Structure 1
Amino acid sequence: MKTSIITTFLAGAMLCCAVTLKAQTRSLFNFKDLSGWHIDVPAMDTDKSVKSPFIVRNGVFVSLASPQGHIITDASYQNYRLNVEYRFPAKPGNCGVLVFASTPRVLYQMFPKSIEVQMQHKDAGDFWCIGEDITVPDMEKRRGPKSEWGAVDGKKRRIKNLTDGSEKPLGEWNTLIIECVGNAIKVWVNGDLVNYGTNCTASKGNIAIQAEGSEVEFRKVDFTPITALTKNGH
Structure 2
Amino acid sequence: MKKILLCALATVAINFSLSAQTLNKLTPKEKQDGYKLLFDGKTTKGWHVYLGADAGAWHAEHGALVLNTAAKGQGDLVTDREYTNFELKIDWKIAAGGNSGIIFGIHEDTSYHYTYLTGMEMQVLDDKLAEDNKQANHLAGSLYDMIAPAHPAKPAGEWNSVIIRKLNGHLTFWLNGQKVVETQMGSPEWKALVQKSKFHNWPAFATYPKGHISLQDHGAEVEFRNIRIKQL
Q: TM-score, normalised by structure 2?
A: 0.64
Instruction: Return the alpha-carbon distance in structure 1 between the equivalents of residues 162 and 68 of structure 2.
Output: 19
Note closer, same or farther for the CA distance 1:103–1:52 as it changes in structure 2 (3 Å cut).
Answer: closer
1:85 aligned residue (76, 84, 91): 91
Note closer, same or farther for the CA distance 1:41–1:19 as it changes in structure 2 (3 Å cut).
Answer: closer
Instruction: Determine whether 1:166 maps to 2:152.
Output: yes
Instruction: Return the alpha-carbon distance in structure 2 between the equivalents of residues 81 and 191 of structure 1.
Output: 14
AA of the residue aligned to 1:57: E
1:75-114 alignment runs, 5 A limit: 75-88=81-94, 90-104=95-109, 109-112=113-116, 113-114=118-119
Matched residue, 2:164: 178
Contact 2:143/2:149 (8 A) holds in 1: no
1:80-229 alignment runs, 5 A limit: 80-88=86-94, 90-104=95-109, 109-112=113-116, 113-122=118-127, 123-128=139-144, 158-163=145-150, 165-200=151-186, 201-226=207-232
Offset of residue 97 of structure 1: 0.8
Instruction: Return the alpha-carbon distance in structure 2 between the equivalents of residues 68 and 120 of structure 1.
Output: 19
Instruction: Return the alpha-carbon distance in structure 2 between the equivalents of residues 162 and 124 of structure 1.
Output: 7
1:23-62 alignment runs, 5 A limit: 23=32, 24-40=34-50, 52-62=56-66
Cα distance per residue 1:108-151 (max 9 Å; x no partner):
x33352111111222112224xxxxxxxxxxxxxxxxxxxxxxx
Contact 1:68/1:212 (8 A) holds in 2: no
Cα distance per residue 1:185-225 (max 9 Å; x no partner):
11111122111221253332111111113111112111122
Instruction: Return the alpha-carbon distance in structure 2 between the equivalents of residues 184 and 176 of structure 1.
Output: 17
Q: Structure 2: any 5+ residue segments left out of the alignment?
A: 1-26, 128-138, 187-206
Note closer, same or farther for the CA distance 1:125–1:99 as it changes in structure 2 (3 Å cut).
Answer: same
Instruction: Return the alpha-carbon distance in structure 1 between the equivalents of residues 208 and 50 of structure 2.
Output: 21
* % identity of equivalent residues: 28
Offset of residue 22 of structure 1: 2.5
* RMSD of aligned residue pairs (Cα, Å): 2.7
Q: Structure 1: any 5+ residue segments left out of the alignment?
A: 1-17, 45-50, 129-157, 227-234
Note closer, same or farther for the CA distance 1:68–1:111 as it changes in structure 2 (3 Å cut).
Answer: farther
Q: SS where residue 31 of structure 2 aligns?
A: helix
Note closer, same or farther for the CA distance 1:79–1:105 as it changes in structure 2 (3 Å cut).
Answer: same
Q: SS where residue 127 of structure 1 aligns?
A: coil
Instruction: Return the alpha-carbon distance in structure 1 between the equivalents of residues 229 and 44 of structure 2.
Output: 16
Matched residue, 2:204: none
Instruction: Return the alpha-carbon distance in structure 2 between the equivalents of residues 62 and 75 of structure 1.
Output: 20
Q: SS where residue 22 of structure 1 aligns?
A: helix
Contact 2:50/2:115 (8 A) holds in 1: no
AA of the residue aligned to 1:162: P
Cα distance per residue 1:80-119 (max 9 Å; x no partner):
111111112x423111111111134666x33352111111
Note closer, same or farther for the CA distance 1:71–1:198 as it changes in structure 2 (3 Å cut).
Answer: same
